[in-house]
Amino acid sequence: MSTQLNGKIALVTGGTSGIGLATAQELVEQGARVFITGRRQAELDAAVERIGSSATGIRADASVMADLDAVFAQIAKSAGRLDILFANAGGGDMLPLGAITEEHFDRIFATNVRGVLFTVQKALPLLVNGASIILTGSTTSVKGTASFSVYSASKAAVRNFARSWALDLQGRGIRVNVVSPGPVRTPGLGDLVPDEHRQGLFDALAAQVPLGRLGEPQEIGKVVAFLASDASSFINGAELFVDGGMAQI
């Protein structure tokens, strides 16, 4: 067991599956105490059971301000501070230009943009000086993707949040970085298409990756843990692509 994050207090939003769950597991493995959020209580309970006694689940929807207030009130009461914030809650589905609805736009931006903004802003009183904030981006922040423009635009917004917030927070020594995964084998990726097309989607995406495969959630979790740790103490305002080379070549 690594002790890189011994004694650190972390919050992972959207921590019940995929990248969020894998990251919470990695942070705990490195010695942190982790709070995770999720919208569904049953999934939250199952995730906490998987992570173990160093995890606490708080039911919350990142797009609902009252839920966020309750999250930080509970962390304030039981831990008193935050050293690491992984604002990961988000998602999206596919609609081509011409078929985009107000509901589609509002739902994706509510979680991916407004939710990330207010998660970070409401965390500020709890974040210690020198804390690390990590936001979940995507290779779509720099690449066009057919039928995925609203999600892609939301992740481009997240990318710029990190640039601007690194300046806003420079007086406190708080670092803000973005981890941008390529295609990763998560439930969310599979849910983009009907079950019978899932393997076809995975194969098509893997073919676009120079390493020739999808990423695994644990691979993203290790990079988030690196950005959370003192090993990355001079990395700030950056977008770190964890994409097998997909957006780099």
Residue 207 lies in a domain: no
Q: What is the domain range of residue 40? A: 9-188+218-242
Q: How many domains does the chain have?
A: 1
Return the closest-CA partner of residue 2 out of 230, 179, 172. Answer: 230
Give CA–CA dist 104/3, Å, rounded: 42
- Whether 192 has a pLDDT exceeding 70, the answer reads yes
Q: Tell me how far CA of residue 230 lies from CA of 4, 127, 192, in angstroms.
A: 8, 16, 36
Instruction: Specify the 3-state DSSP secondary structure of 223.
Output: helix
**Residue 2 counted as domain residue:** no
The answer on pLDDT for 222 being more than 90 is yes
Q: What is the pLDDT of residues 83-127, one digit of tens each?
A: 999 999 999 999 999 999 999 999 999 999 999 999 999 999 999
| Mean pLDDT across 191-204 | 85
CB count within 10 Å of CB 232 equals: 18
pLDDT at 193 (0 to 100): 79
Catalytic residue from among 86, 151, 165, 241: 151
**Do the domain assignments include residue 30?**
yes
Contact call for residues 89 and 135 (beta carbons, < 8 A): no
Is 198 a domain residue? Answer: no
In 3D space, the residue among 123, 84, 132 whose CA is nearest the CA of residue 232 turns out to be 132
In angstroms, the Cα distances linking 225 to 204, 245, 247 are 29, 20, 22
Q: What is the CATH number of the domain that holds 180?
A: 3.40.50.720
**Is there a domain that residue 32 lies in?**
yes
Is residue 55 one of the residues assigned to a domain? yes
Quickly tell me which residue has 């509510």 as its tokens. 110
Does residue 1 surpass a pLDDT of 70?
A: no
Active site (annotated) includes residue 16: no
